[in-house]
Amino acid sequence: MFSLLCGLLFCALGSGQLASGQPDDGKRYICRAIPLSGDASCPVTLLPELNAGSQEEELRNTVMQLRETILQQKETISKQLGTINELTTKLSLCASATDDRKYEKGGSWGKEKQNTMGDVPRDPNDTIDSLGKTMQGLKDRLENLEQMRANVSGASFPSELRDLLQRRLGELEKQLLKKVSNLEEEKSMLSNATAAYRLKTESTLNALVERISELEKGGGDFKSPEQFKLSLPQRTNYLYGRITKSLPEMYAFTLCMWIKSSATPGIGTPFSYGVPGQANEIVLIEWGNNPIELLINDKVAQLPLEVRDGRWHHICISWTTRDGQWEAFQNGEKLGTGDNLAAWHPIKPGGVIILGQEQDVVGGRFDAGQAFVGELSQVNIWDRVLKPVEIQSMANCSSYIPGNVVSWLASNVEVFGRGAFKRPLEMCQERLPNA
Ligand SMILES: *[C@@H]1O[C@H](CO)[C@@H](O)[C@H](O)[C@H]1NC(C)=O
Ligand SMILES: *[C@@H]1O[C@H](CO)[C@@H](O)[C@H](O)[C@H]1NC(C)=O
Ligand SMILES: *[C@@H]1O[C@H](CO)[C@@H](O)[C@H](O)[C@H]1NC(C)=O
Ligand SMILES: *[C@@H]1O[C@H](CO)[C@@H](O)[C@H](O)[C@H]1NC(C)=O
């Protein structure tokens, strides 16, 4: 490019000289090809033919003109140098931003990109690399241009040529500017695409993490709302579940649940219902080496249930205020019955149901020694005595009947304590004793 311009310069100088001083006969076109390796400073030798005394003044004038031209040219070029410097700064900013992106990309999501999403239009790595190269190329070209202008300023030439050169350089500059702005736009698009992509990846990951912790902590969506269990893995006074519903006044009830525990020396307290003035309104507890006990209004019946084998068991206890009659079922089988348990007492309403802890006051003052350790599920309560066939069909997985006063739903069970979780429940068939 430079030598082309030098060539232009020389031709123009020759013809310019011809036009101004020397009519036809002198005909000195000086069109020299400048070798690429030649002196790039484009030396302009003033024409040796101008030696006659009559031409001296002409020459002096020309020299004066040229000096002036050079001064103007210098001024113009120094202005343009400012612009070029600005451009160069811009470009190097772009280039360093490109480098930064390269490092950024090496970050934690780098590997996932190819595998998880697959809808990234192109490999950002490559694109950023080639963008960086393009920018570097442009930068070099600008530097050349700058150098060339500096070199040109050292030469002398008449105004038409100066204009030509300036036009030429102006065009070049315009082209470069356009290219730079295109590149900047492309970079911005790329960066937006990458940002959007990262955002998407992160939000997908977040959703996954959220879902996992929901499943662990509770409130998650299970296969169906009753297909979850409450897991209380340690004997503490702070791991428990709370049923967000209370009980109405009741003259009979059936309490059923799936229960799994291997805790010794007793499974503790899977269920307690406390009301103001009576913390032991309904309690199911196995403590020490005693059998499982049912407390109603703090009266006690010992139940012939045995669940402490680390396997799932379906148990149901029904009670009616009439004669305080009760029945106890395990795995659909009626294992015991009795009466005079809190006879003629109505179950008081408005209390608190706690799963896994025994309440000494309503909703609190738990004792780790009485805590339940294991898993509970489908704790349902009806305000009537269920028929044995209903209990059997639930215990053999042929039906599921939600409780009419308390029904086992994830949204009805709050989990408290670090380590207590709602988890997906095994299939009913897998919970059967012979499974
Ligand atoms: C992307 O860049 C990183 C480091 O800059 C390199 O290790 C990796 O191989 C590149 N990946 C591709 C697909 O070019
Ligand atoms: C400008 O001139 C300098 C020496 O004066 C030379 O080193 C450089 O290569 C020239 N630049 C161009 C673009 O020809
Ligand atoms: C990239 O995003 C920025 C901010 O959201 C926006 O101003 C710009 O126009 C976007 N660029 C392209 C090329 O879409
Ligand atoms: C489950 O129990 C119900 C009620 O006793 C009975 O009708 C049904 O046949 C039983 N189903 C199985 C698979 O044992």
- What is the whole-number distance in angstroms between the Cα of residue 14 and the centre of ligand 4? 114
Q: Determine the residue of 131, 185, 190, 192 to mutate for testing ligand 3's pocket, defined as the one with the most ligand atoms within 8 A of the Cβ atom.
A: 192
The C-alpha atoms of residue 172 and residue 324 are separated, in whole angstroms, by 103
Residue having the nearest C-alpha atom to atom 3 of ligand 3: 192
Closest CA to 88 of 133, 29, 136: 136
Written as one letter, the residue type at 167 is R
Q: Determine the residue of 104, 123, 125, 194 to mutate for testing ligand 1's pocket, defined as the one with the most ligand atoms within 8 A of the Cβ atom.
A: 125
- What is the whole-number distance in angstroms between the Cα of residue 186 and the centre of ligand 3? 10
Residues 6+ apart with CB under 8 A from 426: 229, 312
Phi then psi for residue 262, to 5 deg, are -130, 20
Kind and range of the H or E element at 397?
none
**Nearest bound ligand to the CA of residue 329:** 4
Residues 6+ apart with CB under 8 A from 38: 3
DSSP state of 107: S
Reported pTM? 0.50
**Sheet containing 268-275: which strands, arranged edge to edge?**
299-302, 293-296, 278-286, 268-275, 352-355, 240-243, 413-416
The C-alpha atoms of residue 258 and residue 260 are separated, in whole angstroms, by 7
- Which atom of ligand 3 approaches the CA of 191 most closely? 1
Give yes or no for residue 261 CB within 6 A of ligand 4: no
Length of the chain: 435
Q: How many CA atoms lie within 13 A of 253 on its CB side?
A: 26
The C-alpha atoms of residue 270 and residue 379 are separated, in whole angstroms, by 10
Per-residue pLDDT of the chain (435 residues; tens, 9 = 90+): 333 333 333 333 333 333 333 444 444 444 344 444 434 443 444 444 434 455 556 656 656 665 666 666 666 666 666 666 666 666 666 555 544 444 443 333 333 333 333 333 445 566 666 666 766 676 676 667 666 666 666 555 566 666 676 677 777 777 777 877 787 787 777 777 777 877 777 777 666 666 666 555 544 456 677 888 999 998 999 999 999 999 999 999 999 999 999 888 889 999 999 999 999 999 999 988 899 999 999 999 999 999 999 999 999 999 999 999 999 999 999 999 999 999 999 999 999 999 999 999 898 899 989 999 999 999 999 999 999 999 999 999 999 999 999 999 988 999 998 888 888 888 888 899 887
The C-alpha atoms of residue 194 and residue 109 are separated, in whole angstroms, by 11
The C-alpha atoms of residue 252 and residue 326 are separated, in whole angstroms, by 10
Taking CA atoms, 142 is separated from 41, 69, 145, 189, in Å, by 18, 24, 5, 24
Kind and range of the H or E element at 45?
none
Phi then psi for residue 250, to 5 deg, are -135, 145
**Nearest bound ligand to the CA of residue 6:** 2
Give the pLDDT confidence score for residue 24 in this predicted structure.
43
Answer yes or no: are the C-beta atoms of 366 and 357 closer than 8 Å. yes
Answer yes or no: are the C-beta atoms of 287 and 373 closer than 8 Å. no
The C-alpha atoms of residue 204 and residue 214 are separated, in whole angstroms, by 15
Copy the structure tokens of residue 204: 């997908």
The C-alpha atoms of residue 347 and residue 366 are separated, in whole angstroms, by 22
Residue having the nearest C-alpha atom to atom 10 of ligand 2: 40
Answer yes or no: are the C-beta atoms of 298 and 371 closer than 8 Å. no
The full 3-state SS of 75-95, as one line of letters, equals HHHHHHHHHHHHHHHHHHHHH
Q: Which residue bears the tokens 């000289």?
A: 17
**Nearest bound ligand to the CA of residue 103:** 1
- What is the whole-number distance in angstroms between the Cα of residue 307 and the centre of ligand 3? 64
The C-alpha atoms of residue 12 and residue 18 are separated, in whole angstroms, by 10
The C-alpha atoms of residue 10 and residue 427 are separated, in whole angstroms, by 94
Q: Which residue bears the tokens 């897998």?
A: 430
| H and E: helices and strands count for the chain | 7, 14
